[in-house]
Amino acid sequence: MAKEFETRMIVISPSSSVTPDQVTRLVQLLGLEIHRQGDLLRGDDRGRQGGRGKALAAIRKLDPDRIFTKVRGSRSGTRGDAGPITAPGRLHPAGEGMECLRLVDKGVSAAVRNEKVCEAPRPQKAAGQEAQGDNR
């Protein structure tokens, strides 16, 4: 049963022209055993193994480089929805903000086109910060 159902979170990058409504409509039109609940950021797709894969592929096709998805630990409507609490299996959208996704989708697009990906220089640590990190 563990692999039969899966809850997914779908996040659209802010640079994409795809809207949450488009994704919802697409999932409904596919006619698979997919259940949607809540707004898009917290929307979950549950369904049987085959249907889930088909739905995911179809959603990715809308904008392949700018739609991101991950598995969710808790089902929709359970305690996993309860606020921005930092606990495993719950939503952590704050860690990877919209600005971060915008940069990542540029990198993915460049990698797909075999272009050189721009890399920002790594921030240098202050002298005291390194020592402090070792003492933790």
Q: Give me the residues that bind other proteins (CB under 8 A), please.
A: 1-2, 5-7, 9, 11, 68-75, 78-79, 86-90, 92-96, 100-101, 104, 108, 136
Least distance from other proteins to the Cβ atom of residue 131, Å: 15
Smallest separation, CB 110 to other proteins (Å): 13
Whether the CB-CB separation of 39 and 97 falls below 8 Å is answered with no
Would you say 31 or 99 has its CB closer to other proteins?
99
Q: Using the minimum distance from each CB to other proteins, give the nearer residue, 29 or 127.
A: 127
Lookup: tokens for 101: 């996704």
Can you tell me whether residue 65 is helix, strand or coil? coil
Report, in Å, the least distance between residue 31 CB and other proteins: 24
Nearest distance from C-beta of residue 34 to other proteins, angstroms: 17
**How far is it, in rounded angstroms, from Cα 33 to Cα 50?**
10
Q: Which of residues 31 and 124 has its CB atom nearest to other proteins in the complex?
A: 124
CB nearer other proteins, residue 29 or residue 98: 98
Residue (of 66, 14, 59, 20) closest to 40 by Cα position: 20
The helix/strand/coil state of 31 is: coil
Q: Give backbone dihedrals phi and psi of 35, rounded to 5 degrees, phi first.
A: -110, 130
- Residue linked to tokens 């809308």: 62
